[in-house]
Chains A and B, each alone.
Chain A
């Protein structure tokens, strides 16, 4: 997933706003991801403290839900392979972004 993410995000934004768009999109995800270890730890603690008999199912469900959300986001996106980055946003419906000027 990480391999294609950089190219895909870049193809979503027009050149004038690309740096802002790509950085904000990626780092907003990191903000949420930063709290997942804490969340997973909390789930484990609630399930019995993380010892040998702890049920880790809740953490597995958490990972599955996040994965499905990601899959839906990609599925509903537009295939942009090979597109000209200079033309992104220049035509109606292309990535939903318009050049700023």
Chain B
């Protein structure tokens, strides 16, 4: 059994200090990147998504519709937690963490590349919601992957500190997105 996939911590020897540092750093960066992308959507929803994707509505209504797409991401998070959390138990935490980071990158990139309502009509806001759901599923699976990798690699007496490094990534990502 591989000692680096994190799928079966009960069967391997304790992680080296170097390994623990690497896992803590990857958890921190994972949380930073995911939360950056996920939060950045809020700023975009407040400023540009209304005019871009709901230009047929009044300004007030388009703002409400824009924020509804924001909420779709939060609705998708438990789905990501259930599906990707289960996969974390089946195929490994590390693999799930990697997949969620790629999912988030692809989802955010495609949102940035979307044509507007003026260009392709109703398909534009529908695709926006779809990619927001992808973002939500990714963020829903990523947190567990990062938290478990950190907790399972850390020596028991330092588990709180090591997992907290990953947790610090959440506000770091939020800060970067402002």
Contact = CB atoms under 8 A, between A and B. Distances in A.
B166 interface: yes
Contacts of B82: 20, 23-24, 27
A23 B21 CA distance: 23
Contacts of A74: none
Contacts of B148: 10, 18-19, 22
Interface of A: 2-7, 9-11, 15-24, 26-28, 30-31, 33-35, 38, 81-86
A3 B9 contact: no
Interface in B40-93: 67, 71, 73-75, 77-78, 80-82, 84-89, 93
A4 B159 CA distance: 9
Looking at chain B, what size class is its interface with the partner chain?
A: 35 or more
Nearest to B150: A6
A3 B157 contact: no
Overall SS of chain A's interface: helix
A23 B140 contact: yes
B167 interface: yes
Contacts of B157: 82
B130 interface: no
B79 to A, nearest CB: 8
Given A7-B163, A82-B156, A23 B143 contact: yes
Contacts of A33: 74
A3 B164 contact: yes
B78 A28 contact: yes
B141 interface: yes
A45 to B, nearest CB: 12
B156 A35 contact: no
A25 B159 CA distance: 19
A90 to B, nearest CB: 10
Kindly list the 7 A-B residue pairs having the minimum CB-CB distance in the complex, ordered from nearest. Answer: A34-B74, A23-B85, A19-B88, A27-B81, A23-B144, A10-B151, A6-B163
